[in-house]
Amino acid sequence: MKSFSISPVPFDIAPLRERLLDAHAGAYASFEGWVRDHNEGQPVRGLAYEAYVALAEAEGERILAEARQRFAITAAACVHRTGELAIGDLAVWVGASAAHRGAAFDACRWIIDEVKARVPIWKHERYATGAADWLHPGG
């Protein structure tokens, strides 16, 4: 089963969380990234994400494999949206389970930071002024 996926449609986090349950896990941490109404001082009307799906999923799997080696976690998963998203929509979810909360929290933060830095996903933000801008990982 894939640990990282790109989703062109909204997704439910409950089944994703269930996949992380483990008798050895005493902790679970998650991160949800939502579309906000501003960026760098500009009001945002909406955005679209595009990805090179095959490469994005391969790099995402590498990141999650690295997380499992770096942190004392039992499992981790991540899903990132593509397509048109409105203000408030869920754009990305990360979850990690571990014996202890510290590892789960640390892995979660590391995973989202690495996804934003390394995975080929581009964000096309549309501003209230009528302007638009493409942002790449890290943005």
- Interval 106-132 mean pLDDT: 96
Q: Output DSSP code: residue 37.
A: S
Name the pTM for this structure. Answer: 0.94
- What is the model's pLDDT at position 81? 98
Between CA 67 and CA 96 the distance in angstroms is 9
37 has pLDDT over 70: yes
Q: What is the pLDDT of residues 84-97, one digit of tens each?
A: 999 999 999 999 99
Q: Average model confidence (pLDDT) for the chain? A: 95
How confident is residue 137, by pLDDT bands cut at 50, 70 and 90? low
Residue 104, φ and ψ in degrees, nearest 5: -65, -45
- What is the model's pLDDT at position 49? 97
CATH code given to domain 4-33+55-119:
3.90.1170.40
